[in-house]
Amino acid sequence: MSSTVLTVTLNPAVDKTIYVSGLNIGGLNRVRRTRTDPGGKGVNVAKVLNNFNVPVILTGFIGGRLGQVFLEELRKEQLNLDFVEVDGELRTNIKIVDEAHHITTELNETGFQVGEQDLFRLREKVDELLHHCSCLVLGGSLPSGVPSSIYYDFIQLAKKKAIPTVLDADGTALKEGVKAKPFAIKPNRFELEQLLGRSLETDEALVRAGKELIAEGINIVLISMGSEGALLMSQHEAYKVRPFTIRPQSTVGAGDSMVAALVYGLKKQKSLQEIAAFATAAGTMTAAKPGTEVCTLQEVEKALQRVQVSRISAHFSTC
């Protein structure tokens, strides 16, 4: 079987990162510097996998003059692109990085309008591309006109070809997607609380929540918790990973790097404990980079010894 990974980005964006010494809400702010990058969850995952020497194909929707600039920038990274063009303009997402307080504020536009014919063309493309891939990664928000069930549909397409899917979404897109039982999901704490409709304030509550999803048919649950680290669990194992201290530059793409590291670890048949460490190191290294720059394989491998992995299976009984 092919080793290629297919990533789908339905609502890509040009990410414009603005750096200020301290964000003054309601007042004048002097911009220290700016940068622009092609963005979107599937795009970021693909950039990391490319750095990890994993062949990847990117698809999704694209549109407008900015969309062509977006594609040209990705071609410079020698990525394999196969997007569906739609009417309308690619959105711009603003990331304001407060360097004094190490806080990133995001202002994300809605995106273009997608029609029924666009949806049909993308579904046909994904169905065809899956013949040449061994893993599907779905993630990110949905543009206007895209039904919340689209991730469910794509997961089912992949299942018919015995191809595992990793889902990283939120809101109704996540809620509908998990109904198709993807192989793995990567929610953060807030997204998991939204999905299950209850507060999850402790590690024990998060593990129980992950266990519920695994009992329903999901194989792996990776819960990102920012500076607190991550929880990774399967039916028989669960791990808590504590990251090392960094000076955060931008948290954009950190979760996507974790998804890419998860996919990489599965492909390399690493143990769940190894994947837990690898994913957390990847997310941490990306958070230490400006804009939407992502980690490299060498950086992650070097950082592995700095993360702390604890097995919590003693408190993890199967249902």
CA 84, CA 80: separation in Å to the nearest integer? 14
Tokens 């690619």, located at residue: 90
Q: Which residues contact 146 (CB under 8 A, 6 or more apart)?
A: 10, 11, 114, 119
Of the residues 15, 118, 168, 256, which is catalytic? 256
- 256 belongs to the catalytic site: yes
In the chain, what's the furthest Cα-to-Cα distance? Answer: 57
CA 8, CA 273: separation in Å to the nearest integer? 27
Give the 3-state secondary structure of 99-111.
CCCCEEEEEECCC
Tokens 């070097």, located at residue: 302
Backbone angles phi, psi at 55, to 5 degrees: -65, 140
CA 313, CA 222: separation in Å to the nearest integer? 15
Radius of gyration of the chain (CA): 19
Torsion of the alpha carbons at 68, 111, 152 and 294, rounded to the nearest 10: 60
Q: Which residues contact 84 (CB under 8 A, 6 or more apart)?
A: 59, 60, 61, 62, 118, 121, 122, 125
Tokens 């060498």, located at residue: 298
Tokens 């953060």, located at residue: 188
Beta-bridge partner residues of 107: 94
CA 84, CA 45: separation in Å to the nearest integer? 19
Structure tokens, 19:
């750096």
Structure tokens, 300:
């992650």
Which residues are annotated as catalytic?
Answer: 256
